Amino acid sequence: MLLASVFGVVMGLVLGLTGAGGGILAVPALVLGLGWSMTQAAPVALFAVGSAAAVGAIDGLHHGLVRYRAALLIALLGAVFSPLGIYFAHQLPEKILMLLFSLLMVMVAVRMLRRERQDAGPSDHGHANWGQKNCMLDQQTGRFSWTAKCTATLAALGAVTGVVSGLLGVGGGFLIVPAFKQLTDVQMRGIVATSLMVISLISLIGVIGAFHAGVFINATGAVFIFASIVGMLIGRKIASHMPARVLQLGFASVCLVVAGCMLFRA
């Protein structure tokens, strides 16, 4: 129970600080730390990530940071495609799932280690010129200009996120955050808040699908979920006081170490 509490707090902390990455640590924590199988760990990890993300998303909505229309579109497509990922998760051997998860962690670590340009400014607008990104904010209303290109881009992101979420038991923030940075001119605070809302919605659908398939959460899993919510609250409090680059380097290093452990076990 103590290990479940510690791992849960750490996962929630990472999710609160970065808007991504919590789920990608939750599964290894349950598999390597508690000895669970991938199929056992995935729904509990999803439940924990979704619950913690929901707390952060509510806070983001309160401060007007969530791009809720974009979040709902991504989550809708994620909900449609998440059962497909769950289906494949039950068809593939355990070793293949662990290998895929390890490779995913390496990919995330490499992306985090790359030094990225920081978008400064007090508003939630980036510095891209009109037309440079697939989805642009209207400078007068502060909302997305919903072109066909923008809608298709966000829908495709939701579909990919849903499949990966169902397959590996992750919330998808590691996909949503970099995609939003690359494809939109939303500032980082808005990206993190929107990502948390999407994660909470997609995770909820994944959990419902897992329950429908006969999965249940035991007492240890419940402790892990509660601890993740506590970690999220702490992470949201200290996020503004931590240098982003320090968070990136630390998280990437942890990902590489855990990926190595997962590969060794696989």
Residue carrying the six token digits 């939750």? 26
How do residues 58-73 score in pLDDT, each as one tens digit?
Answer: 988 888 888 989 999 9
| pLDDT of res. 136 | 87
DSSP H/E element including 24? helix 22-28
How do residues 171-188 score in pLDDT, each as one tens digit?
Answer: 677 788 878 888 888 887
| pLDDT of res. 263 | 81
Helices (H), 142-243: 148-168, 173-183, 188-212, 219-238
> Could you state, in order of their start, the residue ranges of all structural domains in the chain?
2-114+132-265
The more confidently predicted of residues 42 and 150 is: 150
What average pLDDT does the segment 219-245 reach? Answer: 82
Q: Locate 111 and state its tokens.
A: 């992306």
Q: How many Cα atoms within 13 Å fall on the side-chain side of residue 263?
A: 11
Q: How many Cα atoms within 13 Å fall on the side-chain side of residue 257?
A: 9
| pLDDT of res. 70 | 92
Average pLDDT, rounded, for the chain: 80
Q: Checking phi first, is residue 170 left (phi over 0); if not, alpha (psi -120 to 50) or beta?
A: beta
The beta-carbon contacts of 212-220 under 8 Å, at least 24 apart in sequence, are: 213/86, 213/90, 215/39, 215/40, 215/43, 217/43, 217/44, 217/47, 219/1, 220/1, 220/4, 220/34
Coarse DSSP helix, strand, coil percentages of the chain, rounded to the nearest 5 percent:
75, 0, 25
The more confidently predicted of residues 210 and 227 is: 227
How do residues 111-170 score in pLDDT, each as one tens digit?
Answer: 777 755 444 443 444 444 445 688 888 877 778 888 899 999 999 999 998 888 888 877
| pLDDT of res. 157 | 92
Beta bridge partners of 137: 144
Residue carrying the six token digits 């329950």? 211
Q: How many Cα atoms within 13 Å fall on the side-chain side of residue 107?
A: 10
User: By three-state DSSP, how is residue 144 classified?
Assistant: strand
Burial of 170: CB neighbours in 10 Å, binned 0-12, 13-18, 19+: buried
